[in-house]
C-alpha cells in the first residue's frame, strides 16, 4: 500500500472511531448501517483469507459464524464461564473478550477437525462442496441439540444488557481494522508467502519444502476464527441465536459476494466490497421495499458481468496505490 493510501486509511479510521461522540450520531440511521458494514467486512476478510489468498473456495463460512454466535450465547445464558462472579457483575458476559475469543476458538477447532480430512482428500470444487455439506450438518446438529442448543428455536441471551449501540460499533470497527492489520502482517510473513505459493502452484510449493496440508488447514482455521468472533459480536447485537438466523446461508453468500465485488486476494477489497454491496442492498430495501431482493440479485449479476476483477483493480484504485 502506498503512503497516500495509508494516510487516507488512518484518517478514515480515526474519523470513524470519533463518530459516536458526534451529537445524535448514535440514533442516526447510518450508525447501525456502519455497524453492519463492519460486521460484513470482517466476514469478507475471513473468506478472503482462505479463498482469496489461500485459493481454497470454502462455502462453509456460515457454519463458523454460527458456531461463534452459539458459543457466546450458550456460555452466557448457561453461565458456564464466570460462575459466582456473574451474580456480582451481571454485565460480565456482555462484550467479554474471553467469551468472544472462545467463540472464535470453537469455530477454529471445528475448522481444524473438519479441515484435516477434507483438505487432505479434496481439491477445488470437491472441497467447496464438502464445506457446503459440513455447514448443513452443523445446522442440523444444532436443531437437534436438545436443551443445550435450544433446538429449532435457539437461545435467548439476556437482552436487558442492551443500552446503546456504541460498544457494538467500536468493537465492530476494531475487529475490522484488527483483522485487516493482522492479515496484512500475516501476508508479509514467511507464512503468508507460503500460502500464496500453495495457491499459485501446489506442486512447486511442495517441492520447496512447504507442508501444503498444514498451510491450508491453518488458513482455514484462521478464517474460521475470524468468522467465529464476528458471530460472537452478532450475538451481542441480536440476542436471539437460532439455527435459521445464524446458520443462514446469507452469512456465507454475502461476504463471498462482497469480497469478489471488492477484489479477491486484496486487503482493501473485502472492506470496499462490504461497504458498496451493503449500501446497494440497504438502499434497495428502503427505496423499493417490495423489490429489494430482486435488485440485489441484479446487482450481483451486473457486478460480475462488468467488474469481474473487483473494484480494487479499477484504474482509479491502481493510480492511488502507486501514488
Partner 1 sequence: MFNLPPPDILFQLSLNGALGGAMYGVAAVGLSLIFGTMRLIFLAQGAMIILAAYFVRALFYGLGIDPFLSLLIVVPVGLGVGWLIYQGLFRKAAAEEDRNVSLLIAVGLMFLVQNLMTVVWGGNTAGVVTSYTASGIELFGVRTSFTRSMGFLIALAGTGLVMLFLRKTIVGKAVRAASEDMDSAMLMGISPHRVNAIAFAIGIALAGAAGVAVATTFPFNPFAGFIFSLKALVALALGGIGNVTGALAGGILLGLIEAYVQYFISGGWTNAIAYGVFLLVLMFKPEGLFSRPYKKA
**Residues near partner 1, by CB under 8 A:** 51, 57, 117-118, 121-122, 125-126, 128-130, 132-134, 136-137, 140-141, 143-144, 249, 253, 256-257, 260, 264, 290-291, 293-294, 296-301, 304-305, 308-309
Question: Closest approach of Cβ 95 to partner 1, in Å?
Answer: 33
Q: Which is nearer to partner 1, 238 or 300 (CB)?
A: 300
Closest CA to 258 of 248, 247, 271: 271
Question: Closest approach of Cβ 246 to partner 1, in Å?
Answer: 17
Question: Closest approach of Cβ 200 to partner 1, in Å?
Answer: 12
Question: Closest approach of Cβ 42 to partner 1, in Å?
Answer: 20
Question: Closest approach of Cβ 226 to partner 1, in Å?
Answer: 19
Q: Which is nearer to partner 1, 100 or 254 (CB)?
A: 254
DSSP lists the bridge partners of residue 155 as: 241
Q: Which is nearer to partner 1, 104 or 265 (CB)?
A: 265
Q: Which is nearer to partner 1, 260 or 274 (CB)?
A: 260
Question: Closest approach of Cβ 146 to partner 1, in Å?
Answer: 11
Closest CA to 161 of 237, 72, 104: 237
Q: Which is nearer to partner 1, 26 or 253 (CB)?
A: 253
Residue 91, SS3 per DSSP: coil
Q: Which is nearer to partner 1, 145 or 167 (CB)?
A: 145
Beta carbons of 234 and 39 less than 8 angstroms apart = yes
Q: Which is nearer to partner 1, 38 or 134 (CB)?
A: 134
Question: Closest approach of Cβ 321 to partner 1, in Å?
Answer: 20
Question: Closest approach of Cβ 119 to partner 1, in Å?
Answer: 11
DSSP lists the bridge partners of residue 241 as: 155
Angstrom distance (rounded) from CA 320 to CA 323: 5
Residues 6+ apart with CB under 8 A from 73: 154, 155, 157, 235, 241
The H or E element containing residue 156 is strand 155-156
DSSP H helical ranges for the chain: 3-18, 29-47, 61-78, 85-88, 97-121, 124-143, 166-187, 190-200, 202-207, 212-238, 243-246, 250-262, 269-287, 292-306, 315-322
Integer angstrom CA distances of residue 219 from 25, 52, 141, 164: 37, 11, 25, 35
Question: Closest approach of Cβ 139 to partner 1, in Å?
Answer: 8
| CB half-sphere exposure, 228, CA atoms < 13 A | 27
Q: Which is nearer to partner 1, 144 or 160 (CB)?
A: 144
Q: Which is nearer to partner 1, 217 or 256 (CB)?
A: 256
Distance of CA 203 to the CA centre of its chain: 30
Cell reading at 104: 472464535
Beta carbons of 234 and 65 less than 8 angstroms apart = yes
Amino acid at each position: 500500500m502506498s503512503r497516500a493510501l495509508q494516510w487516507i486509511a488512518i484518517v478514515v479510521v480515526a474519523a470513524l472511531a470519533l463518530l459516536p461522540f458526534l451529537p445524535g450520531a448514535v440514533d442516526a440511521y447510518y450508525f447501525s448501517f456502519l455497524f453492519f458494514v463492519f460486521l460484513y467486512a470482517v466476514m469478507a476478510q475471513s473468506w478472503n483469507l482462505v479463498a482469496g489468498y489461500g485459493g481454497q473456495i470454502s462455502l462453509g463460512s456460515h457454519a463458523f459464524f454460527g458456531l461463534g454466535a452459539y458459543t457466546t450465547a450458550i456460555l452466557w445464558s448457561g453461565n458456564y464461564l464466570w460462575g459466582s462472579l456473574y451474580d456480582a457483575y451481571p454485565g460480565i458476559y456482555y462484550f467479554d473478550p474471553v467469551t468472544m475469543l472462545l467463540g472464535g476458538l470453537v469455530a477454529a477447532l471445528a475448522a481444524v477437525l473438519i479441515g484435516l480430512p477434507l483438505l487432505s482428500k479434496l481439491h477445488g470444487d470437491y472441497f467447496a462442496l464438502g464445506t457446503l455439506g459440513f455447514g448443513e450438518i452443523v445446522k442440523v446438529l444444532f436443531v437437534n441439540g436438545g436443551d443445550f442448543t435450544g433446538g429449532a428455536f435457539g437461545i435467548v441471551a439476556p437482552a436487558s444488557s442492551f443500552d446503546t449501540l456504541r460498544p457494538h460499533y467500536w468493537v465492530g470497527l476494531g475487529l475490522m481494522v484488527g483483522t485487516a492489520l493482522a492479515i496484512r502482517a500475516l501476508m508479509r510473513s514467511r507464512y503468508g508467502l507460503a500460502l500464496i505459493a500453495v495457491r499459485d502452484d501446489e506442486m512447486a510449493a511442495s517441492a520447496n519444502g512447504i507442508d501444503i496440508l498444514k498451510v491450508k488447514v491453518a488458513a482455514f482455521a484462521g478464517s474460521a476464527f475470524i468468522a467465529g468472533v464476528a458471530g460472537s459480536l452478532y450475538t451481542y447485537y441480536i440476542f436471539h441465536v437460532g439455527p435459521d438466523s445464524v446458520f443462514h446461508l446469507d452469512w456465507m453468500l454475502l461476504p463471498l459476494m462482497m469480497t469478489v465485488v471488492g477484489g479477491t486476494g486484496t486487503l482493501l477489497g473485502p472492506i470496499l466490497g462490504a461497504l458498496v454491496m451493503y449500501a446497494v442492498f440497504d438502499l434497495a430495501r428502503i427505496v423499493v421495499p417490495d423489490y429489494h431482493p430482486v435488485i440485489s440479485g441484479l446487482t450481483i449479476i451486473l457486478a460480475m458481468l462488468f467488474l469481474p476483477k473487483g473494484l480494487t483493480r479499477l484504474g482509479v484504485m491502481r493510480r492511488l496505490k502507486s501514488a
